[in-house]
């Protein structure tokens, strides 16, 4: 580890203390797939999403009320549009988790790290490095094997939904970089408006007949394990993750270290799914998982800007 990569605020001998909260974010994000799977069914996806984000939204509004009032109308519109895309991501992702394993979900969604530079290269017409293209091929091959853990069969509906979610995440990242009104906007305000827009979409869907159980019906049927899972998703995977990523890490470590640590999310998803969820990959699936992890890690390094 180069000493240049560690800011003056975090001497090398204490670097692990600085990295630990960011690494914990990767752990809770990786654990979120199994947690969501444990409390969600095909009939409760919309209701769980309403409950998950309605719990944390008031906290974000109170914490950032002054910054929200300072935003321009164009910034509200831009963040609202991103929120609509975000609602689609959460819907597809959560339905995907219901219909596949937590391990598959976490590994397939990590393809966002491959898709984003590819789409950016297509938009800017700048050919990505050869090493990145090789890494992308490795990742795609890994996903193919991952979905064939029990033998060569068609990917499950959940696997395909997670692939769509990875593409949707890529679209969200690209939009954030191209909607000029949100560039430079306060992170807390931007996140609050996006989640508010997403909750509004979920609430409207919940009121439509045939979209599943009502949020209050689902909440009334939750026991302690389900409430524990919901609060884990709300408090740790949303509030804790946001404040560490946006408030803690930017002041105490470098973007490259944050990216490296958060990039371990699929590894934790696989570890939690196998160790706690009792999931099994099979030989093909295990090889595929390793290829996905290797490919996304290699791809991230291939397109990462050189550190001074």
Q: What is the pLDDT of residues 8-54, one digit of tens each?
A: 444 544 556 667 888 888 899 999 999 999 999 999 999 999 999 99
Q: What is the pLDDT of residues 55-107, one digit of tens each?
A: 999 999 998 889 999 889 999 999 999 999 999 999 999 999 999 999 889 88
pTM listed for this prediction: 0.83
- Categorize the per-residue pLDDT at 122 as very low, low, confident or very high, splitting at 50, 70 and 90: confident
Residue 91 to residue 97: CA distance in whole angstroms? 10
CA gyration radius, the chain? 19
Neighbours of 153 (CB within 10 A): 9
User: Is 166:109 a contact under the CB 8 Å cutoff?
Assistant: yes
Which range has the worst mean pLDDT, 106-110, 139-143, 298-302?
298-302
C-alpha to C-alpha distances, 121 to 125, 174, 177, 193, 198, nearest whole angstrom:
5, 11, 14, 29, 29
Residue 221 pLDDT more than 60?
yes
Report the b/e string of 161-185 with b at 16+ CB within 10 A.
bbbbbbbbbbbbbbebeebebbeeb
What is the average per-residue pLDDT within 135-155? 75
* Structure confidence at residue 51 (pLDDT): 95
Nearest residue to 273 (alpha-carbon basis) of 28, 36, 34: 34
Residue 200 pLDDT more than 70?
yes
Nearest residue to 291 (alpha-carbon basis) of 157, 152, 144: 144
- Categorize the per-residue pLDDT at 150 as very low, low, confident or very high, splitting at 50, 70 and 90: low
Burial grade of 228 (CB within 10 A; 0-12, 13-18, 19 or more): middle
Tokens 């990742």 map to which residue? Answer: 139
Report the chain's mean pLDDT, rounded to a whole number. 84
């Amino acid at each position: 580890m180069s000493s240049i990569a560690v800011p003056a605020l975090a001497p090398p001998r204490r670097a692990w203390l600085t990295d630990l909260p960011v690494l914990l974010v990767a752990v809770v994000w990786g654990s979120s797939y199994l947690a969501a799977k444990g409390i969600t069914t095909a009939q409760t996806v919309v209701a769980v999403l309403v409950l998950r984000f309605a719990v944390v939204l008031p906290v974000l509004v109170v914490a950032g009320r002054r910054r929200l009032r300072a935003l321009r109308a164009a910034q509200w519109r831009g963040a609202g549009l991103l929120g609509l895309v975000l609602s689609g991501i959460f819907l597809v992702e959560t339905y995907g988790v219901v219909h596949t394993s937590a391990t598959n979900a976490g590994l397939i969604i990590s393809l966002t790290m491959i898709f984003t530079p590819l789409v950016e290269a297509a938009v800017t017409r700048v050919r990505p490095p050869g090493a990145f293209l090789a890494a992308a091929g490795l990742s795609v091959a890994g996903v193919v094997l991952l979905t064939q853990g029990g033998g060569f069969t068609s990917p499950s509906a959940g696997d395909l939904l997670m692939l769509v979610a990875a593409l949707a995440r890529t679209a969200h990242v690209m939009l954030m970089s191209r909607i000029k009104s949100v560039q430079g906007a306060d992170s807390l305000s931007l996140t609050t408006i996006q989640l508010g827009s997403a909750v509004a979409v979920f609430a409207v869907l919940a009121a439509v007949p045939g979209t599943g159980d009502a949020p209050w019906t689902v909440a009334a049927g939750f026991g302690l394990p389900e409430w524990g899972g919901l609060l884990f998703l709300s408090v740790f995977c949303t509030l804790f993750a946001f404040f560490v990523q946006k408030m803690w890490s930017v002041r105490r470590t470098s973007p490259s270290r944050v990216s490296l640590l958060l990039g371990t999310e699929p590894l934790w998803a696989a570890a939690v799914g196998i160790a706690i969820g009792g999931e099994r990959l099979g030989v093909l699936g295990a090889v595929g998982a390793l290829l996905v992890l290797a490919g996304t890690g290699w791809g991230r390094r291939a397109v990462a800007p050189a550190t001074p």
